Amino acid sequence: MFSDIADRYDRLNTILSFGRDKAWRERAAAFLPAGHLLDLGAGTGAGNPAFGERFITALDPSLPMLARNDAARRVAAAGERLPFADEAFDGVFSAFVFRNLTSVEDTLVEIHRILRPLGTAVIVDLSRPIGKVQRELHRAGSAVFVPLVGWLAGAPGEYRYLDESLDKLPPPEELYAGGPLSLEQTWRMGPFGFVYGAVLRKEFRFVSPPGRAKRAQRGEGTAVPKAQG
C-alpha cells in the first residue's frame, strides 16, 4: 500500500506522531527478549535502532520499503503466512501494522507458531482513545489532519485509508483477549492515548497442522539481498 511513498514514509510518520514515533518504539522494544527477532511489517527499518544487539529478520510485503532497510536478513512476505519454521524466533515486534492486516487472527496464529516457548511478541499500533469525549474529538481531528498530510505528501488515498483504519479494530484489550498468545499488559501513549503498546507471551508449544508445516519447510516468501557498498 505504501510502496509508492517509501522514500518519505518515515518522515510522514514522524509528522503524524508529532515526533514521538521513535520514543514509542523504544518503550515497546524494552520488553523484547534477547536473541533472534522478527520485525513484522518492518518497512524501511525505522525500528532497528531500538533493537540493540538482537539479530533482526525484517519482514514486509513491500519490496521498495525493504530495499531501504539495513537489517541483517530481509524477507518479502505477509504476516498471515510467515515463511519460517516452527519456533524459529525468540521475539516478534510489530509497529503500526496490525490495522493493515488482512487477518489479525491468522497473523497471531502464525506468530504463536514461529515463537519459541515463552517467547514474547510486542505490538505498537494506533487506536481510537478510550473515553467517549476523547474518542470523538480525536475522530474529528484525525479526519482533517491525516488526509491533509497525505495530500501534501502526494498520497491522499493512502492517508485517507490510514484515518479510516483507526475504526477498523476493537481496542487492544479486546483484540488480543482469548487468542493463541497470552496478553500480559497494555498501555497507552500519545495525545488522548491514541497509540497503544501490547505485550503477548507464548505459554505452550505449537503443534503445526500438516498444511502449515509443509509451507514452513518450503519457505515461501522472497529473500531480499543486502545492497552492496
The domain segmentation of the chain, as residue ranges, is: 3-128+169-217
DSSP codes, 48-98 = GGGGTT-EEEEEES-HHHHTT---SEEEE--TTS--S-TT-EEEEEEES-G
Using DSSP, state whether 34 is helix, strand or coil. Answer: coil
pLDDT for 182-200, tens place per residue? 999 999 998 888 899 999 9
Mean pLDDT of the chain: 85
Q: Give the contacts of 76 (CB within 8 A, at least 6 positions apart).
A: 59, 60, 61, 62, 63, 66, 221, 222, 223, 224
Q: What is the pLDDT of residue 6?
A: 65
> Who wins on pLDDT, 212 or 111?
111
Q: In this predicted model, what pLDDT tens digit does every residue of 147-186 receive, in sequence order? A: 777 777 676 766 677 777 778 889 999 999 999 999 999 9
Distance CA 1, CA 129 (A): 25
Q: Residue 204: is its pLDDT beyond 80? A: no
The CATH T-level fold of domain 3-128+169-217 is Rossmann fold (3.40.50)
DSSP annotation of 102 reads S
Cβ distance 92 to 119 under 8 Å? yes
Question: What is the tens place of the pLDDT at every residue in 75-92?
Answer: 999 999 999 999 999 999
Q: What are 146's three cell numbers?
A: 491525516
* Residue 57 reports pLDDT greater than 80: yes
